[in-house]
Structure 1
């Protein structure tokens, strides 16, 4: 896709690139995926650099944390609203903004392909604070823990404390020892101090 975009953009930049030292072609490239054509990308970037005499940059973006990190939450309450709904302590608007902006449906750990459907929503007052519809082998109730996969890339850098919803704690799990180390826990002073 980057090559196609550049083919369309390059003629419009004719005469402008000669005065530049650097050219930033942005981020969002999933260069760490196994099926990404990295050799083709390298050749393309080298070609642009040599043709225009610029140093070409790509922003690392989410690729550095692709398929990393989970966001763990808990179901706070369940009810029926024309279908089963669960309110969680995870907020789409506060913790997973790509769910609302992209749109994006994060994978749920152990989602049951043929399970009972349940709409998961967040605790904020935002009417659209909906994570999405998921399936569970057994209908979960209050206290059930849930985990969304591949959340490291934006669940920390794009979070908000809208409506006083706390930020999730950040922890590191050692898969060799099963040890969990708390890196940072957020509380009211973090919310208050962001406002001043």
Structure 2
């Protein structure tokens, strides 16, 4: 299903822009990320009033985009911006090329078909965590594209299909390896997932190296399993580790690699590849790029390894938006509550991990504060407290940004609320409906055969 709307036009009130700029300030000089916007907005008040800055604020750009697109988007909706995904692909490919390592996209972050098509030309392949993901990856890649897989839950009845759809598999435990090593295809590259046992995260829910972790094998256990024989004699050609989440500090890659070099030097000597996993954003806030290049170079010069990285969020996080509308405004004592046509169940981590999503045109010191809430019966269906330059109304559009990764793939349908529709925001500002979740699909999910019963 694909329907399109034409180029966007700005409809935001001038006073909103004045207040928005007063509260947010400027993002720094440079060119607009979306040059096509300039044709739509001309010399409107959203342009910076700073004579030394000929740019549009990044968040102001987004406000123009969604003010213009509001009438073209049936809410709730996830919107993914093609141009930003491409720019992230180009940026990540530049980094991987400079490091001389191989770039994979971890499709668990977002698995939409056209997004995979956008990313595919920039990567060596995709990394996956299940048979379904591996099959999707294989079917989305050209013949030369490669598929990596690791999972703590490897099913015996799926080994054959996994072998057909994967090129690399990293066993999560020694017992998993010993049970299934003879069942996989002979031409499959076999690795082990190592737990470096070095943590950088305060929240154990995100930490692969947490105490009593289910993810990976200690260096000691790997050496014990291999004994005095070379990895190759066991059919092992590589290692994978993944021990971070949304980190801006690339020094942590080097720390992890140096620990493995100390503890697994002889093992590394007998391998041909290593996968450094994901968990790093490689964005404008990232630091210590030289440490990342040093880590990759060390593995290549000391051991002659092919080095892979497999970011997920880094490709798509900031390309995704959840667009919704205000259904009701409630006065509760001295607080105002805006009820949206979406729910925290469309952004599950905002409830599970008490994460407050960013909302467009929420400003520090805004004169109109609201509690933004979802529309299910869950009392805790609340996104957080926000403030705006102008009061919200029934039908006002609310846009949450930076939600492109790990949200749609985890969203669910509590209270029978369908998943948000899915839109593509094209490189010229066109909005295209890519997928709408219908009552028929919702009914089929639960095994109802005759949808007419709901209409009588």
TM range (shorter): 0.7 to 0.9
Specify the alignment match of 1:25 in structure 2. Answer: 276
Shift in Å at residue 187 of structure 1?
1.5
Which stretch shifts more, 152-161 or 14-23? Answer: 14-23
1:54–1:134 distance in 2 versus 1, CA, 3 Å: same
Structure 2 CA distance, aligned partners of 1:13 and 1:128? 47
Which stretch shifts more, 141-150 or 52-61? Answer: 52-61
The answer as to whether partners of 2:339 and 2:374 remain within 8 angstroms in 1 is yes
More helix by share: 2
Shift in Å at residue 120 of structure 1?
0.9
Specify the alignment match of 1:166 in structure 2. Answer: 418
Which stretch shifts more, 5-14 or 121-130? Answer: 5-14
Task: Please give the per-residue CA displacement for 1:31-80, whole angstroms capped at 9, x wherever unaligned.
Answer: 24364444431331232355455443322211012421221101111213
Q: How many residues align?
A: 194
Q: TM-score, normalised by structure 2?
A: 0.38
More strand by share: 1
Q: TM-score, normalised by structure 1?
A: 0.80
Structure 2 CA distance, aligned partners of 1:153 and 1:46? 29
Determine whether 1:69 maps to 2:324: no
Structure 2 CA distance, aligned partners of 1:81 and 1:10? 59
Specify the alignment match of 1:120 in structure 2. Answer: 372
Which stretch shifts more, 144-153 or 8-17? Answer: 8-17
Task: Please give the per-residue CA displacement for 1:60-114, whole angstroms capped at 9, x wherever unaligned.
Answer: 211012421221101111213342222111211x221232244432221112322
Shift in Å at residue 150 of structure 1?
1.8
The answer as to whether partners of 2:337 and 2:370 remain within 8 angstroms in 1 is yes
Specify the alignment match of 1:79 in structure 2. Answer: 330
Task: Point out the structure with max Rg over C-alpha.
Answer: 2
Structure 1 CA distance, aligned partners of 2:353 and 2:272? 33
SS at match of 2:318: coil
Structure 1 CA distance, aligned partners of 2:308 and 2:444? 35
Structure 2 CA distance, aligned partners of 1:134 and 1:192? 36
- Which ranges in structure 1 are unaligned for 5 or more consecutive residues? none
Structure 2 CA distance, aligned partners of 1:132 and 1:9? 42
The answer as to whether partners of 1:25 and 1:58 remain within 8 angstroms in 2 is yes
SS at match of 1:133: strand
The answer as to whether partners of 1:173 and 1:180 remain within 8 angstroms in 2 is yes
Shift in Å at residue 9 of structure 1?
5.9
SS at match of 1:146: strand
Structure 1 CA distance, aligned partners of 2:417 and 2:271? 44
1:98–1:49 distance in 2 versus 1, CA, 3 Å: farther
Specify the alignment match of 2:384 in structure 1. Answer: 132
